[in-house]
Structure 1
């Protein structure tokens, strides 16, 4: 008789709601961001489960098992949300710390690069001491490549040349540990008006400087021809430099 009356009782809506909320909460509780909503569902599900459980205990509604299941799911979802959010927070902190460390490392590298650039600029500044040298003076760069203007001639007449030429005799010596390049376009010649010209092409040039590489310990000499009467021989370690790295007065 009691079982028959129990079966005639309506199912607790609170218990059903608690079960549904618990299922949704437990399914979404492991998802970042979304589990913030799951946390709210777990709380609501727990409240509904308790209310439904009270109603079933008093014999006004059936569905005690649903209420208990909803309560368990709500509590478990609540715990899962706390654990996962703690884990995600720790992971985010770790990534953030790694990012800050990376930024600090980049800043240190940038500072080191700036110091290296400053040292390079200082070295190039020191190259200004190699200006207006006497013919025969040897200069050496940071890689151990020595360069010199050994002699010169002005007013040189040649066939097929429209004007007298200036010819300089230069020597490269590789005192470094790596190959070094040489090229007639390392050189320019400046006249009395300040005009700087590149090497000239001549038909009958003698011992003209070619281009190539010098092995460590190697040496090469050659002549470079220029149109007009030069007063200053200019040497460039890099064609993109703003100014000559060394110069020799042709007098």
Structure 2
């Protein structure tokens, strides 16, 4: 029964596209400092919506990211005007304790909450806008003392993580023998964010002298990676949108005789959305 399951997984992967991954080019993020006078909606500072993606974050250049930096206190509200697309958007904040408002073009309040994470990293607040257009974001501190803050509004910001899994069974290869497989199932790992996608993979525990080649399939996307048996890793994978919470099937083509227990490590990027 186990053999049939393994064959069905391999068949699903065999129909997919085989990738040898290269490096793309992107531009760097932009940072906007608050203007000296924007204490009302009428004088709101116009800023660009964040348009960051997992792919741009994975390059380390954060193309499309717009970070607004300012100082907040409880004496006045910092107002920003931003053009947003209809649908779910995110206000992401980092800094000291502060309160924020999101208003539509008619100055109706869509969201009003308090940020209390206090310099522990970005916290995202989701909100829905019914139509594309201009919206207002107001930031006010909780005390009379100035507190620095960083903010993005539009698409979410992204962070990174790692996970690893050891194959449950040894892989035994014989010279001139058939391809042997190992399955790595990350689907039930609750520590991996649901929307995490792989940016790089690394095999450990291999006996590289007996392996001719490695093909690694991400079952959910159907993509196959052709991995050098000498290096045992592949990077620059974000553009292929391979969900980490998936079964991964590794096919090892033999060169010699021996056995090993492979370990698969996956580095990933994920959106900060709550």
TM-score between the two structures when normalised by the length of structure 2: 0.28
Which of structures 1 and 2 has the larger relative contact order (alpha carbons within 8 angstroms, sep 6+)?
2
Higher strand share: 2
TM-score between the two structures when normalised by the length of structure 1: 0.29
Larger radius of gyration: 1
Higher helix share: 1
